[in-house]
């Protein structure tokens, strides 16, 4: 399985220890478990020891020769970043719509006139497996260079069987071929296809009776997501779609209260969703219900930034006890970025989160949002050795020195993959 890796003497090593069982809430989101002059010993892709450099040095002194030594002095070491909400697999780009929005058109206007999600659907339909794979593989390379080691990926640029299947097959192939772990979500309920505009109920039935059972049977997704939004899917339809997924073993996720308040947060709590995402317009009642049920709030301040909207109230959600995670929402319409560190910066400046909280939100809480909290997201013995080394000497500087990619070295599955 290759050489052991010994990461040595980090200025600060963020462990987030003790967070594997459940996502962190309230004050616990600030307890990073920092070790100064910290080191990690990795073997067979797994973390074997974490602690002060002098302690690990003593423990492994006789084996130093066989290990690859990574000098992290003067650097910050964190768990590999986790992006729990992306629309990774798509074809083309939509800078024309960006330009239209800068001149006053709204996101929903563009979508309802046949652009937006529909435009990307058209491009994605006509792309081959190979083309989609290549475009998305390059995006994953960029994610990795920004310190991200696990990415959730949604389908939803097909909304008919063949293209949804193609996206999920490409996601599977990406997971196999790229070092980044790609975690698949079915999102057939991303928009109502034009053919069903007059009869959306028929499309909901089609999702429930045909597509969801097939996706589950083929084992192509772990989660089932729906865009619950005025003019897209109603809370009632969303509930039926999510319940159908549950019946077939798909865990519910929901795009909730993004553009208008629509009781999406309440619905997430009611159906026991693992996460509710966006939440710009979530009600206090909904936020409290999420906190009570432990639904992770996946916040996407890059989307708010790019759509020139006010961000979700991350501060309030944390104070009310919601476990908050952060994500890029990487997609060609509302957030064409792979920079999770930039999103973390927006978390601080646009949502009132602290530099400590945004690290928790982009690591262990993000891992819990995709049901991976036991495997990744913290630096603890037995966990997968997914680790990001950053060219700053403390965690506050990561956000203070903004708009810069500080990623220095990335270790994935116990191997150095970026240096
Ligand atoms: O999360 N809101 C719905 N879906 C995506 C945007 C998809 C697109 O515009 O292509 C989102 O923002
Ligand atoms: Fe999204």
Question: Which residues are paired to 272 by β-bridges?
Answer: none
Percent of the chain with pLDDT over 70: 100
CA of 401 to the centre of ligand 1 (A): 29
Nearest-atom number in ligand 1 for the CA of 191 is 3
For 174: left if phi > 0, alpha if psi spans -120 to 50, otherwise beta; the answer is alpha
SS3 12: strand
Range 135-141 average pLDDT: 98
367-373-374 Cα angle (round to 5): 150
Model confidence at 1: pLDDT above 70: no
Q: What is the pLDDT of residues 328-367, one digit of tens each?
A: 999 999 999 999 999 999 999 999 999 999 999 999 999 9
Give the residue, out of 230, 331, 335, with the most ligand 1 atoms within 8 A of its beta carbon, to mutate for a pocket test. Answer: 331
CA–CA separation, 121 vs 175, rounded Å?
22
Question: Which residues are paired to 233 by β-bridges?
Answer: 228
CA of 156 to the centre of ligand 2 (A): 10
Query: How many of the other CB atoms lie within 10 Å of CB of 217?
Result: 10
Nearest-atom number in ligand 1 for the CA of 90 is 10
CA of 87 to the centre of ligand 2 (A): 6
CA of 102 to the centre of ligand 2 (A): 21
Model confidence at 18: pLDDT above 80: yes
CA of 85 to the centre of ligand 2 (A): 6
Residue 225 contacts residue 153 (beta carbons within 8 Å): no
Nearest-atom number in ligand 1 for the CA of 277 is 1
Question: Which one of the ligands is nearest to 122 CA?
Answer: 1
Between strands 148-154 and 181-189, the pairing is: parallel
187: CB partners within 8 A, 6+ apart: 87, 154, 155, 156, 224, 225, 226, 227
Nearest-atom number in ligand 1 for the CA of 307 is 12
Nearest-atom number in ligand 1 for the CA of 303 is 12
The per-residue b/e assignment along 272-286, b for 16 or more CB within 10 angstroms, e otherwise, is ebbbbbbbbbbbeeb
Q: How far is CA 366 from CA 23, 90, 320, 359, in A?
A: 8, 22, 18, 10
CA of 303 to the centre of ligand 1 (A): 9
3-state secondary structure 304-350: HHHCCCCCCCHHHHHHCCCCEEECCCCECCCECCCCHHHHHHHHHHH
Nearest-atom number in ligand 1 for the CA of 278 is 1
Q: What is the pLDDT of residues 228-241, one digit of tens each?
A: 999 999 999 999 99
CA–CA separation, 370 vs 171, rounded Å?
15
CA–CA separation, 84 vs 186, rounded Å?
14
Model confidence at 411: pLDDT above 90: yes
Q: What is the pLDDT of residues 84-122, one digit of tens each?
A: 999 999 999 999 999 999 999 999 999 999 999 999 999
Q: Ligand 1: which residue has its CA nearest to atom 1? A: 329
Query: How many of the other CB atoms lie within 10 Å of CB of 210?
Result: 12
In whole angstroms, how large is the CA radius of gyration of the chain?
A: 21
Range 309-332 average pLDDT: 98
323-403-320 Cα angle (round to 5): 15
Query: How many of the other CB atoms lie within 10 Å of CB of 44?
Result: 11
Pocket of ligand 1 (CB under 6 A): 87, 116-117, 120, 227, 255, 258, 303, 329, 331-334
Model confidence at 2: pLDDT above 90: no
Task: Output the average pLDDT for the chain.
Answer: 98
132: number of CA atoms within 13 Å, CB side? Answer: 29
Nearest-atom number in ligand 1 for the CA of 258 is 2
Q: What is the DSSP letter of 380?
A: -
CA of 193 to the centre of ligand 1 (A): 14
CA–CA separation, 302 vs 345, rounded Å?
10
Q: Quick check: pTM over 0.90?
A: yes
Q: Ligand 1: which residue has its CA nearest to atom 12? A: 334
The per-residue b/e assignment along 162-192, b for 16 or more CB within 10 angstroms, e otherwise, is ebbbbbbbbbbbbbeebebbbbbbbbbbbbb
Give the residue, out of 106, 109, 262, 333, with the most ligand 1 atoms within 8 A of its beta carbon, to mutate for a pocket test. Answer: 333
Question: Which one of the ligands is nearest to 118 CA?
Answer: 1
Q: Ligand 1: which residue has its CA nearest to atom 3? A: 227
Range 202-225 average pLDDT: 98
CA of 335 to the centre of ligand 1 (A): 8
Nearest-atom number in ligand 1 for the CA of 107 is 9
Residue among 7, 26, 25, 30 at smallest CA distance from 357:
30
CA of 257 to the centre of ligand 1 (A): 13
Give the ipTM.
0.97
CA of 334 to the centre of ligand 1 (A): 6
Max alpha carbon distance in the chain (Å)? 72
């Amino acid at each position: 399985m290759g050489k052991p890796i010994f990461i040595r003497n980090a200025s600060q090593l963020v462990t987030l220890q003790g967070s594997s069982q459940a996502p962190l809430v309230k004050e616990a989101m600030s307890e990073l478990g920092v070790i100064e002059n910290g080191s990690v010993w990795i073997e067979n892709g797994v973390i074997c020891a974490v602690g002060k450099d002098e302690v690990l040095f003593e423990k492994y002194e006789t084996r130093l020769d066989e290990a690859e030594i990574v000098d992290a002095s003067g650097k910050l070491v964190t768990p590999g970043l986790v992006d729990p909400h992306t629309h990774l697999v798509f074809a083309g780009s939509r800078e024309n719509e960006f330009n239209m929005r800068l001149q006053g058109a709204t996101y929903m206007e563009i979508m309802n006139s046949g652009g937006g999600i529909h435009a990307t659907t058209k491009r994605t339909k006509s792309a081959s497996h190979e083309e989609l794979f290549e475009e998305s593989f390059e995006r994953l390379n960029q994610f990795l260079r920004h310190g991200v080691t696990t990415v959730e990926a949604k389908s939803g640029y097909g909304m008919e069987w063949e293209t949804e299947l193609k996206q999920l097959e490409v996601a599977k192939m990406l997971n196999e071929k790229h070092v980044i772990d790609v975690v698949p979500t079915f999102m057939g309920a991303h928009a109502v296809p034009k053919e069903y505009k007059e009869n959306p109920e028929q499309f909901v039935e089609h999702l429930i009776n045909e597509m969801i059972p097939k996706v589950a049977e083929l084992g192509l997704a772990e989660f089932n997501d729906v865009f619950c939004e005025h003019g897209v899917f109603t809370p009632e339809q969303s509930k039926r779609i999510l319940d159908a997924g549950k019946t077939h073993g798909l865990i519910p996720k929901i795009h909730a209260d993004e553009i208008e308040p629509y009781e999406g947060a309440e619905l997430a709590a009611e159906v026991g969703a693992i996460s509710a995402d966006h939440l710009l317009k979530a009600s206090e009642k909904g936020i409290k219900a999420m906190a009570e049920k432990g639904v992770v709030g996946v916040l996407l301040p890059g989307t708010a930034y790019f759509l020139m909207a006010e961000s979700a109230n991350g501060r309030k959600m944390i104070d009310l006890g919601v476990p908050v995670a952060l994500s890029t929402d990487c997609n060609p319409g509302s957030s064409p970025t792979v920079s999770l560190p930039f999103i973390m910066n927006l978390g601080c400046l646009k949502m009132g989160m602290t530099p400590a909280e945004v690290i928790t939100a982009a690591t262990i809480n993000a891992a819990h949002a995709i049901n991976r909290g036991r495997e990744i997201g913290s630096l603890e013995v037995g966990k997968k050795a997914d680790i990001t080394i950053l060219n700053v000497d403390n965690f506050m500087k990561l956000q203070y020195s903004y708009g810069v990619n500080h990623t220095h070295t990335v270790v994935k599955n116990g191997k150095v993959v970026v240096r």
